[in-house]
A and B are shown apart, each in its own frame.
Chain A
Amino acid sequence: MSGAYNFAYLDEQTKRMLRRALLKAVAIPGYQVPFASRDMPLPYGWGTGGIQVTAAVLGQDDVLKVIDQGADDTTNAVSIRAFFRKTAGVATTERTAEATVIQTRHRIPERPLHAGQILVFQVPIPEPLRFLEPRERETRRMHGLADYGAMHVKLYEDVARMGRITTSFAYPVKVAGRYVMDPSPIPKFDNPKLHDCPALQLFGAGREKRVYAIPPHTTVESLDFEDHPFEVQRWDRPCGLCGSTDSYLDEVVTDDQGGRLFCCSDTDFCRERRDRMDEGR
């Protein structure tokens, strides 16, 4: 840990401000709480919201895991992990089971989370109504009055044009029967994992200066129609590396001759399965 930084980079007053906002967010599930977002040493869109939330909740005994699109070894994940190793000196891991704080971009780990873990999402646009209503004042009023009829218009447009709900990421959810929330750009495959999750889920949007939360064991429903119910993506083949049939798969181009590999996007989940197969051999 470098002595030139306060623990986890942010000063103590800033972390208190963030924790106050987070407590309010936990108290009102799905409600977007404004906070005084700070400049961080990385560009907007790279996780400035997530990194501030992580800094606010991180303690000396925490074990941090950072993933980007499910992978521990991508640029964003590697540099944020290195950032906290340097400024907080905390232990880091690539194993979902061992982590106490997991910062993520665009995925929820395949392995079920357990009580005591905190999942921190990086959020680009926290407002689920933005597509329909550009005025912030109006969207806040719509949330306040639970005036959510317009939200289904987006899903209507999908079914009218494509014959099914084609929204495949940032799929809107209703939290604890009250607030409609953008779950960040996770694939809708991960939406069912938001529901009744034993871990605490925190969301940070740095540019938009909002945090929100899903406390453990909260009801989270994905919006849908009676005759077009919510469905998750399915693949017609297993993971090419570990053979998993129930995980989210990435398509990887392997050569110039049209070679394709479908493999788990959650690298830790895939590695764990392969290790177990090796042991069994």
Chain B
Amino acid sequence: MSAHDLPLLEVRDLAKSYGGLQALKPTGFELWPGEVLAIVGESGSGKTTLLSCLAGHVPADGGSVRFRLREGTGVDLLQMAEAERRLLARTEFGFVHQNPRDGLRLNISAGGNIGERLMAAGWRHFGRIRGEALAWLDRVEIDRSRIDDLPRGFSGGMQQRLQIARNLVTRPRLVLMDEPTGGLDVSVQARLLDLLRRLVAELDLAVVIVTHDLAVARLLSHRMLVMRQGQVVEQGLTDRVLDDPQHPYSQLLVSSILAA
């Protein structure tokens, strides 16, 4: 069996409560290398909680998240020591925040933002770090001359593209995205979606993308989960779910899209 025949991520019975509120009921899914999985649902449906538990930003109450390492062995992210988990997070994962201000260092130049993960991974040659930063600015369509500018002077779309470059520079295998197109105007969204599609294909990335925008899910994802009140109510291939929704809630979601 090649690496592509085994799931990259196996999530089993992942659950999270905040006090008496069960934000995420025991949930499981699998993600294969190179696959884009969209998690859709209304606000408060538990999709961001699910993503935060996967990323380790909030501790899960129970369940397991098995991640397959490059050499083929699986590790449970929830049982791992924090030092190991952080090392993985720096090299194998990316996390794209909805608000680029949460994912960038605004008082550090664009080049420094891209280079940080490389330096964390042990790069100590300034020329090579800078070369890599320039190459990534090209890939995310930011002008090379902006490398020494602070991201606080960038437009929202540029900040989001910079955040993507900063995450992808160490060639992670899994990227988690929380509403990456939220808060951007429609033409900027379209450009960002094109860019994401291209990068995902080029780098063979596995992506979990949380969105409430079904158009984003349709464009980017292969498969989707529909969440409501902390649980998955429907899952399947994106086109199937969107064209032939089975669960009443999915039907409601799909029918509530305004046709332009």
Chain A positions within 8 Å of B, measured between CB atoms, are 132, 141, 145-150, 152-153, 156-157, 159-161, 224-228
Give the residue name and chain of the B residue nearest to A141 (CB): B82
Q: Return the CB mask of B123-152 against A: 1 if under 8 Å, else 0.
A: 011110110000000000000000110000
Tell me, yes or no, whether B112 is within 8 Å of chain A by CB. yes
Chain B positions within 8 Å of A, measured between CB atoms, are 82-83, 86, 90, 105, 108-109, 111-112, 115-117, 119-121, 124-127, 129-130, 147-148
Q: Smallest CB–CB gap between A206 and chain B, Å?
A: 28
- Residues of A near B86 (CB, < 8 A) are 145, 147
Contact, CB under 8 Å: A157 / B108: yes
* In the A-B complex, the 5 residue pairs with the closest CB atoms: A149-B120, A152-B119, A225-B126, A226-B125, A145-B83
Contact, CB under 8 Å: A161 / B148: yes
Contact, CB under 8 Å: B147 / A160: yes
Give the residue name and chain of the A residue nearest to B120 (CB): A149
Which one of B83, B90, B111, B117 lies within 8 Å of A156 (CB-CB)? B111
| Residue among A150, A156, A224 with max Cβ neighbours from chain B (10 Å) | A156
Contact A225-B124, Cβ < 8 Å, known A153-B115, A156-B112, A160-B112: yes
Contact, CB under 8 Å: A228 / B105: no
- Residues of B near A147 (CB, < 8 A) are 86, 120
Contact A227-B83, Cβ < 8 Å, known A156-B112, A157-B109: no
Give Cα A17 to B107, complex, Å. 39
Give Cα A139 to B77, complex, Å. 23
- Residues of A near B120 (CB, < 8 A) are 147-150
Contact, CB under 8 Å: A149 / B130: no
Give Cα A199 to B249, complex, Å. 73
Contact, CB under 8 Å: A150 / B83: no
Contact, CB under 8 Å: B125 / A149: no
Contact, CB under 8 Å: B126 / A159: yes
Give Cα A258 to B86, complex, Å. 55
Q: Smallest CB–CB gap between B129 and chain A, Å?
A: 7
Contact, CB under 8 Å: A153 / B119: yes
Contact, CB under 8 Å: B116 / A153: yes
- Residues of B near A148 (CB, < 8 A) are 120
Contact, CB under 8 Å: A227 / B127: yes
Given contact pairs A160-B112, A228-B126, enumerate 15 new A-B contacts (beta carbons under 8 Å).
A149-B90, A149-B119, A149-B120, A150-B119, A152-B119, A153-B112, A159-B126, A160-B111, A160-B147, A160-B148, A161-B148, A225-B126, A226-B125, A227-B125, A227-B126
Contact, CB under 8 Å: B124 / A152: yes
Q: Smallest CB–CB gap between A77 and chain B, Å?
A: 36
| Residue among B115, B117, B119, B125 with max Cβ neighbours from chain A (10 Å) | B119
Q: Could you jot down 22 A-B contacts, CB within 8 Å?
A: A132-B105, A145-B83, A146-B83, A149-B116, A149-B117, A149-B119, A153-B105, A153-B115, A156-B111, A156-B115, A156-B126, A156-B129, A157-B109, A159-B126, A160-B109, A160-B112, A160-B147, A161-B109, A225-B124, A227-B125, A227-B126, A228-B126
Give Cα A224 to B125, complex, Å. 9
Give Cα A152 to B115, complex, Å. 9
| Residue among A150, A152, A159, A227 with max Cβ neighbours from chain B (10 Å) | A152
Q: Smallest CB–CB gap between B113 and chain A, Å?
A: 8
Contact A225-B105, Cβ < 8 Å, known A149-B117, A156-B112: no
Q: Smallest CB–CB gap between B109 and chain A, Å?
A: 6
Give the residue name and chain of the B residue nearest to A156 (CB): B112
Q: Smallest CB–CB gap between A159 and chain B, Å?
A: 5
Give Cα A186 to B117, complex, Å. 29
- Residues of A near B148 (CB, < 8 A) are 160-161
Contact, CB under 8 Å: B121 / A149: yes
Q: Smallest CB–CB gap between A224 and chain B, Å?
A: 8
Q: Smallest CB–CB gap between B177 and chain A, Å?
A: 22
Give Cα A193 to B129, complex, Å. 30
Give Cα A224 to B129, complex, Å. 13
